[in-house]
Structure 1
């Protein structure tokens, strides 16, 4: 079961589709194996990057069962939904299948701290004993969750064991949360997203690792390992080698298409298909990704990686 001590790299997984839009179960198996081989200490599925909103309830359960049955590391399942009944249903199915925990992002209708706090109180009730991750991603949800609200959720809801930190800019929030835990507040795990763009700085501020879906997941594992070995120069060199691709992936609206294209080119999934509606890459964009990948490989070879 997921708990407050979780650390490392929980790779956010895509949901592979066949060219006709059906689930690609064989690619799920290949993807799970590849993520773990590249250093994932956990996987997160059915998040925003997993196109969860485009799946039927039955398809969501199929993906959960397939991933968990294949996986040798903890699996966190995104269960965000417009209503609590759907959230409870998917959470129960995920935990019954062997998931380690679930993740909940706030609905875009929340406007005040009081509304956010009430929402997570209700979510915790709906999830029962399932440990959950509070996803703080205001750029995508439109909901700003203050540090005070996060600390209050952690205080009131013992099943909240992790923050997926994706505020941007958000380094000061990590520092404030860690200062609060140093002063006696319950300490929970903090794993960070945003495509790994600020990973090293986030680790230096007190994060426990990454939970993101950059198309080369080994980057996160290598940077985190170098950080824990107290080799910050190596961590920066590794990050710098991947930075052009991280930057390119960060384009709003295109990031998932770029990631799926990269994963397909690497053989991690069979097809770069996004289920409709979804962005597609032009030939020019695919050529740009290919060029960045070649230059990235050269930089890594120069580092002996």
Structure 2
């Protein structure tokens, strides 16, 4: 079961599709193996990057069952939904299937601190014993969750064991949360998103690792390992080598198409298809990604990686 000590790299997994939009189950197997081989210590599925909103309830459970059957690493399932009923149903089914925990983002209609707190109180009740990740991603949800509200939720809800930190800018939030735990508040795991854009600084601020979908999960694993080994200089060198690709992936509205293209090029999935409606890369953009990948490989070779 997921708990407050979780660390490392929980890769946010894509959902592979065939060119006609059907789920590509063979690619799910390949993708899971690929993520683990590249250093993932856990997987998070049915998140925003997993196009969860484009799947039926039946398809969602098909993906959950297939991923869990393929891997022995912890699997976190995104169960965010407009209402508690769908959240409760998917969470129970996922936990029964062997998931380690679930992830919940706030609904976009939450505006006040009290509304946010009440929402997570209700989520914790319907999730029961399932440990959950609080997803803090204001750029996508439109909901800003202040540090004191996160601390209140953590204090009120023992099953909240992890924060997926995706605020931007948000480094000060990590510092404040770690200062609070040092002062006696319950310490939970903090894994960070944003495509790895700020991973190095986030780890140095006290985060426990990454929970994001950058198409090169080995970058996160290598940076986290170097920092943990006390070699900040090497961590910076590795991070810098991947930064042009991280930057290119960060384009709003196109990032997932770029990631799926890269994953297909790397053999992790068979097709770069996004389920409709979804973006696609044109030939110019694909060529730009190819050039970045070539230069990235050359930079890493010089570092002996």
> Residue in 1 aligned with 2:20?
20
For 2:17 and 2:65, locate their aligned partners in 1 and report how far apart those are by CA, in whole Å. 16
> Residue in 1 aligned with 2:231?
231
Question: Which aligned pairs between 1:1-305 and structure 2 lie closer than 5 A?
Answer: 1-305=1-305
- Where does structure 1 differ by over 2 angstroms across 4 or more consecutive aligned residues? none
Deviation (angstroms), 1:212? 0.3
SS in 2 for 1:43: strand
User: Which TM-score applies when normalising by structure 1?
Assistant: 1.00
SS in 1 for 2:221: helix
Please give the per-residue CA displacement for 1:131-159, whole angstroms capped at 9, x wherever unaligned. Answer: 00000000000000010110000000000
Please give the per-residue CA displacement for 1:79-114, whole angstroms capped at 9, x wherever unaligned. Answer: 000110000000001000000000000010000100
For 2:213 and 2:109, locate their aligned partners in 1 and report how far apart those are by CA, in whole Å. 26
Deviation (angstroms), 1:293? 0.3
For 2:197 and 2:72, locate their aligned partners in 1 and report how far apart those are by CA, in whole Å. 27
Aligned length: 305
For 1:21 and 1:254, locate their aligned partners in 2 and report how far apart those are by CA, in whole Å. 18
Gaps of 5+ in 1: none
For 1:177 and 1:125, locate their aligned partners in 2 and report how far apart those are by CA, in whole Å. 24
For 1:72 and 1:113, locate their aligned partners in 2 and report how far apart those are by CA, in whole Å. 38
For 2:235 and 2:212, locate their aligned partners in 1 and report how far apart those are by CA, in whole Å. 17
For 1:187 and 1:164, locate their aligned partners in 2 and report how far apart those are by CA, in whole Å. 14
For 1:238 and 1:279, locate their aligned partners in 2 and report how far apart those are by CA, in whole Å. 30
Please give the per-residue CA displacement for 1:155-195, whole angstroms capped at 9, x wherever unaligned. Answer: 00000000000000000000000000000000000000000
User: Which TM-score applies when normalising by structure 2?
Assistant: 1.00
For 1:165 and 1:46, locate their aligned partners in 2 and report how far apart those are by CA, in whole Å. 17
SS in 2 for 1:102: strand
Please give the per-residue CA displacement for 1:204-223, whole angstroms capped at 9, x wherever unaligned. Answer: 11100000000111100000
SS in 1 for 2:162: strand
Deviation (angstroms), 1:72? 1.6
For 2:229 and 2:151, locate their aligned partners in 1 and report how far apart those are by CA, in whole Å. 30
Deviation (angstroms), 1:28? 0.2
Compute the RMSD of aligned alpha carbons.
0.4
For 2:161 and 2:38, locate their aligned partners in 1 and report how far apart those are by CA, in whole Å. 25
